[in-house]
Amino acid sequence: MSAGNRHDVTQLVPLLDGVPPIRGARGRPRRRPGTLYGDRAYDYPWHRRELRRRGIGARIARRGAEHGSGLGRWRWPVEQTIALVHRFKRLLACFDRTLESHQAWLDIACCPICRRRLQRALSLC
């Protein structure tokens, strides 16, 4: 976690270092994502080199290229999720002093979101 006034681009490597083990299929848990999707702000040679060194695929929009790279299709679920969480005003601005209490409020907010999604999915069956 970093200060709110830090640019996202400077936090890419600490973010990658902080990825917890990803449970899934049998065997050793993965320690890194398979692919990183990013906008033009992340289009720097050192970011691409660092991702390549870690064995992570890079889907980063190129600076100076026309819009319409197709990354919006992958970003939409993330933006939608953030918008749903921000409907809970307490999470819109972080007033919590500890990471644990903020995580607890985030977990509480996700409960009704998931319940609504499951109800809609089950009503379609």
Q: Do residues 88 and 109 lie in contact, with contact meaning Cβ atoms separated by under 8 Å?
A: yes
Helix (H) or strand (E) holding 57: strand 57-60
- Identify the three-state secondary structure at position 75: helix
- The per-residue pLDDT for 5 is 65
Question: Is the per-residue pLDDT at 123 higher than 80?
Answer: yes
Name the H helices within the chain. Answer: 12-17, 45-53, 72-86, 89-92, 99-124
pLDDT of 1 above 80? no
Dihedral of alpha carbons 68, 19, 7, 76, sign: positive
Q: What residue segments make up the domains of the chain, in order of their start?
A: 1-70, 87-125
pLDDT at 53 exceeding the cut of 90: yes
Q: What is the band of 68 on the pLDDT scale with cuts at 50, 70, 90?
A: low
Enter the pTM of the model: 0.58
* Per-chain mean pLDDT for the chain: 81
Residue 95: pLDDT over 80: no
Neighbours of 88 (CB within 10 A): 15
